[in-house]
Structures are given as C-alpha cells and as structure tokens.
Amino acid sequence: MSFFTKVHLLLVKLGALLQTPVLLIIRGYWGWQLILTGHGKWTNLDRVAHYFGTLGLPAPKLSAMMVASTELVGGALLILGLCSRFASAALVVLLCGAYYTADNEALHALFTNPDKFIAADPFLFLYAAVIVFCFGPGWLALDTFLFGKKAE
C-alpha cells in the first residue's frame, strides 16, 4: 500500500470521526440563530408584516406569521435533530424565497458577483440547511434514535 493511499485512508477515517460533531455544531448554532430570528419576527410582527407588504408579498401578516413559525420550529427541530431533513427542506424553501423577495439583487448576482450573493443575509442559513438536508443530522440526533442508522 502506497504512502498516499495510507494518508488518504487516514483522512477518510478522520473525516468520518468529525462528521457527527461538525453536524451537531452546525445544527446547534444555526438552529439557535433561526430560533432567535423567528422570535424576533414574532415580537415585531406588525413591523415585519409591513416590510413584507413593501416586498409585495400576499397577505403580509399571515406571511410574517408563517415565516416566523417556520424559523422557530425549524430551528428547534434542527437543534434536536428531529425530522431534520423535513425541517431543513422547509428552511431551504423559505430561504430561497427570502433570496427571491428580499435579496433579489444578490440572487441575480450569483454568477456575476458571487461575493454579493454570499454576503446576503439568507446565505449562511441556507448553507447550513442544505448541509443538514444532504448529509443528515449525524448520529447524535433524535432522528437516529427514532429511525435508526437510516436517518443519517
């Protein structure tokens, strides 16, 4: 076995060992941030509804309540690792909607000015939700205890 093969296998093992802690950190940190933003929207619902109205969203108060609820519940589910792929899928849709409505200029700059796309508010939330959706919650999650190894 060559030196590079040995190094590669060592790095594969190291990556596998780090997968669950990294996913736990992502779920915990970004789940908490989503809870905070959802709570902020609920406590300032009239102001958020007014802002949504300026964006041309239909039923701005209902939209604000739905967005705030999705952020709160989705964030809590991410932290717990419960229904992680369902929660992250809902958050991906929500955050794509945020790009489309509130950060449309950044969305259109995805290929012409990627820095603008990355600097937009929804980016890191979207990035975290996509990671959890694609890779699962890791084994240290309620999904794993409820659904077994298939949840990863």
Per-residue pLDDT tens over the stretch 57-94: 999 999 999 999 999 999 999 999 999 999 999 999 99
Nearest to 106 by CA among 124, 120, 96, 94: 120
pLDDT value at 150 more than 80: no
- Residue range 98-107: average pLDDT? 96
DSSP state at residue 82: S
pLDDT value at 152 more than 70: no
Q: Which residues contact 47 (CB under 8 A, 6 or more apart)?
A: none
Q: Which two tokens stand for residue 44?
A: 């300032």
Question: pLDDT value at position 86?
Answer: 97
Residues shown for the chain: 152
Question: pLDDT value at position 148?
Answer: 86
pTM over 0.85: yes
Question: pLDDT value at position 57?
Answer: 96
Question: pLDDT value at position 151?
Answer: 61
Q: Within the chain, where are the H helices?
A: 3-43, 45-54, 60-80, 84-101, 104-108, 114-119, 122-135, 142-147
Per-residue pLDDT tens over the stretch 13-48: 999 999 999 999 999 999 999 999 999 999 999 999
Domain locations in the chain as residue ranges: 22-151
